[in-house]
């Protein structure tokens, strides 16, 4: 199964992806996680991405398209894309690469949440730099304050989850990313719109119910 998970930053894409990949045995391809790993490893790609990520801007399309098409090829037709495509050129680049391979995306899951909710989610997000687990100081707190439940150690706040950058990321989302769903709608693809402004488990139940329909 080939899926795309769309939605604003903080909608719960990463949280829901972890559950989707467990249930449907897919590879989780998060453009943000891949970029953060490249930065941590100090690669050329990571260095190129750094300035954009720090201000809440998007990394240039040519860099992202090459990086993600490479990751998709390795995932052998079973994946969920998280955070990609984020612009119309990225959606077109993905479409072209899939068409050339005789493939297409099975569904687009679109998580819907208002901006006010997003700000609270992102500024309260805490992440484990070691295992990638994601918590929230109020909605999904770790068992011990500030510590990963998997004994990895200290949780961190992503620099781009600080209030100023969050506002820029939301602006970037409305200006450049929101249109991606329209692109798929115009192509007659299956868009699964999910109200993501409710409890994490309720969102998962709604996502699974929608996916079970397309999975037969
Ligand atoms: P979130 O999980 O909050 O939606 P991500 O981890 O997906 O955020 O992205 C963090 C940052 O990485 C973005 O603000 C952007 O700078 C960069 N980034 C991630 N995915 C893309 C993409 N598809 N195109 C361009 N930039 C991206
Ligand atoms: P995204 O990948 O879309 O940026 P995340 O999955 O990282 O979003 O979630 C952003 C923050 O909001 C995290 O701190 C997460 O624990 C929290 N969160 C995710 N889904 C929900 C939800 N349905 N209700 C409340 N908090 C949530």
How do residues 61-87 score in pLDDT, each as one tens digit? Answer: 999 999 999 999 999 999 999 999 999
Q: Would residue 28 count as lying in a domain? A: yes
3-state helix, strand, coil split of the chain in percent (to 5) is: 50, 15, 30
Question: 139 C-alpha vs ligand 2 centroid, how far in Å?
Answer: 8
Q: Would residue 154 count as lying in a domain? A: no
Active site residue ranges: 13, 86, 125, 158, 169
pLDDT of residue 214: 81
d(CA 75, CA 192): 23
The domain of 168 spans 2-114+164-215
Q: Would residue 210 count as lying in a domain? A: yes
d(CA 47, CA 38): 8
Total domains, the chain: 1
Q: Would residue 142 count as lying in a domain? A: no
Could you tell me the CATH number of the domain that includes residue 45?
Answer: 3.40.50.300
pLDDT of residue 205: 98
> Mean pLDDT score of the chain, rounded to an integer?
95
Task: Please name which ligand lies nearest the alpha carbon of 19.
Answer: 2
Site to substitute for ligand 2 among 35, 140, 141, most atoms within 8 A of C-beta: 140
- What confidence category does residue 215 fall into, taking pLDDT thresholds of 50, 70 and 90? low
123 CB under 6 A from ligand 2? no
Q: Would residue 82 count as lying in a domain? A: yes
CB within 8 Å of 183: residues ≥ 6 apart: 88, 91, 92
As a whole-number percent, the residues of the chain with pLDDT over 90 amount to 94
d(CA 213, CA 106): 12
Q: Would residue 125 count as lying in a domain? A: no
Is residue 93 over pLDDT 70?
yes
Q: pLDDT tens digits for 28-37?
A: 999 999 999 9
Q: Would residue 76 count as lying in a domain? A: yes
The average pLDDT across 188-205 equals: 96
Q: Would residue 92 count as lying in a domain? A: yes
């Amino acid at each position: 199964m080939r899926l795309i998970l769309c939605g604003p930053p903080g909608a719960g894409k990463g949280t829901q992806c972890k559950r989707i990949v467990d249930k449907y045995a897919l590879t989780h391809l998060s453009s943000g996680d891949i970029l953060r790993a490249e930065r941590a490893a100090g690669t050329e790609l990571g260095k190129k991405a750094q300035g954009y990520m720090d201000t809440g801007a998007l990394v240039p399309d040519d860099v992202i398209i090459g990086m993600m098409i490479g990751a998709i090829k390795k995932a052998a037709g079973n994946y969920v894309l998280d955070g990609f495509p984020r612009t119309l050129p990225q959606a077109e680049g993905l479409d072209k690469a899939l068409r050339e391979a005789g493939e297409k995306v099975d569904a687009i899951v679109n998580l819907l949440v208002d901006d006010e909710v997003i700000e609270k989610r992102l500024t309260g997000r805490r992440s484990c730099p070691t295992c990638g687990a994601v918590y929230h100081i109020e909605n999904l707190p770790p068992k011990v304050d500030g510590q990963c439940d998997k004994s990895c150690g200290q949780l961190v706040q992503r620099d781009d989850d600080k209030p100023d950058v969050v506002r820029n990321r939301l602006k970037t989302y409305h200006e450049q990313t929101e249109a991606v769903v329209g692109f798929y709608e115009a192509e007659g693809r299956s868009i699964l719109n999910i109200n993501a402004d409710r409890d994490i488990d309720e969102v998962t139940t709604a996502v699974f119910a929608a996916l079970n329909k397309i999975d037969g």
